[in-house]
Amino acid sequence: MSFNIKIIRKQFPIFFNKINGRNLIYLDNAATVHKPKKVISALNNFYKNEYSSVNRGIYSLSINATNKMENIRYKISKFINAKYTEEIIFTKSTTESINLIANTWGLNNLLSYNNIIISEMEHHSNIIPWKILSTKIGFNIRIIPLNINGDLELNEISNLIDKNTRLISITYISNVLGTINPIKNIIKLAQKKNIITLVDGAQAIANKKVDVQNLNCDFFVFSGHKIFGPTGIGILYGKKKILESMPPWQGGGGMIMDIHKNKFIWEKIPWKFEAGSPNIAGIIGLGIAISWFMSFSIKDIINHNRFLTKYTLKKLNNIPNIKIFGKKEFSKNRIGIISFNLGKYHAYDIGSFLDQYGIAIRTGHHCSIPVMKYFNVTSMCRISFSIYNNKNDINFFIEKLIYINNLLSK
């Protein structure tokens, strides 16, 4: 599909709505992105014409739904270049994927004298499951520090690694600062020391060409709703050997093959980790979303994001009392997620005013309290871009931000 923002935007019904009597200027894409008509119709069609249970029935509806689901699993494996289809596990979300890894691989492999490494820029979903596990097992959690430019102090990694380090779990792209981490290099370093690697791909999945074999990570996780799919569906990629070595997490229907002399024989991967009724509609929606996303060139998507980022940063930097966190100037090592505060005004106040103009930004701690503490604030405003944002969105946002700044300074 050609990259024409006007045509792309028309595919998103949400923009036909008015917010407080105004057009919606949506700048909270790091939280979630809106859904194109194709995804919405696919969900509607599935429930109307194709809905069924999966994995269990012998009747046509069920067989068709099961086939559709497994075809999507295959599609996703190709999308991220996994070696095997069975390396793709359907979960609820990035958060659930990390919790699954912590409670299976983690529980089975981490001992009290071990340590794991995360970074200071992680989302709570990549901090709290490890904290909870560490209170049970006793292992240490070491932190790669942040610096004022919003980058990680990568030199510190070798100081943090020792013979007891078992895992490096790190975000590909920061949901607060937009920083792209050089994870391929980090993974190479980890590989040399036989350290398992987990990459949080929640922000990266719709902003980079993800190739898990090229990255050579052991685990890669992301959420469907961040790549134009429905909520309630996530993906956990794991290397086949590792997944096969892990015990199941949730028990229930569909994840045992047999019970023999009181011993449970687990299903093969991926189904070992998919107990209960799957979110079939979510999977169908995600499949359509990924096909839709793949119809664009990733280069166009990246360039569009870079253009909006450059344009916005230039305009923001002209506002006298603006404080941008992390990289204040454009760089190819970041994507279009920009966190800032305006003078002494609380982010919540700025967000409330902007909302009245139909402008949706995010305010608060962004589920990343360590980043807030690093920059010594309790909250930040955050704007973030997606495929349907345009220059007009930015112009209107900046115009209103300046207007609010003047209003509050009186």
Partner 1 sequence: MSYSLPCINEIKNNFISCNNWEEKYLYIIELGNQIPILSKKEYSSENFIPGCQSRVWISMKINSYNYIQFKGDSDSSIVKGLLTIIFIFYNKKTYNEIISFDIKSCFKKLNFNRYLTYSRIQGINIIIKTIKNKLTNLIINYKKINSNFIK
Q: Which residues would be at the binding site for partner 1 (CB under 8 A)?
A: 345-346, 348-349, 352-353, 355-356, 363-364, 378-379, 407-408, 410
Give 124 or 346: the residue with its C-beta nearer to partner 1.
346
Question: What is d(CA 384, CA 337) in angstroms, rounded to the nearest whole number?
Answer: 4
Give 212 or 371: the residue with its C-beta nearer to partner 1.
371
Give 74 or 345: the residue with its C-beta nearer to partner 1.
345
Confirm if 335 and 351 have CB atoms less than 8 A apart: no
Give 257 or 369: the residue with its C-beta nearer to partner 1.
369
Confirm if 144 and 127 have CB atoms less than 8 A apart: no
Give 321 or 378: the residue with its C-beta nearer to partner 1.
378
> What's the half-sphere exposure (Cβ side, CA atoms, 13 Å) at 66?
14
Shortest Å, Cβ 377 to partner 1: 10
Shortest Å, Cβ 18 to partner 1: 15
Shortest Å, Cβ 41 to partner 1: 30
Closest by Cα among 332, 341, 334 to 376: 341
Q: Partners of 324 in the beta sheet?
A: 340
Structure tokens, 40: 């919405």
Question: What is d(CA 383, CA 230) in angstroms, rounded to the nearest whole number?
Answer: 22
Shortest Å, Cβ 363 to partner 1: 7
Phi-psi region of 150 (alpha: psi -120 to 50; beta: other; left: phi over 0): left
Give 341 or 386: the residue with its C-beta nearer to partner 1.
341
Confirm if 289 and 224 have CB atoms less than 8 A apart: yes
Catalytic pick among 107, 154, 298, 367: 367
Q: Would residue 217 show up in a list of annotated catalytic residues for this protein?
A: no
Shortest Å, Cβ 192 to partner 1: 44
Give 275 or 408: the residue with its C-beta nearer to partner 1.
408
Question: What is d(CA 78, CA 291) in angstroms, rounded to the nearest whole number?
Answer: 11
Give 108 or 409: the residue with its C-beta nearer to partner 1.
409
Question: What is d(CA 64, CA 206) in angstroms, rounded to the nearest whole number?
Answer: 29
Q: Considering just the CA atoms, what is the radius of gyration of the chain in Å?
A: 22
Shortest Å, Cβ 349 to partner 1: 5
Shortest Å, Cβ 27 to partner 1: 16
Shortest Å, Cβ 149 to partner 1: 26
Q: Which residues are catalytic, by number? A: 367
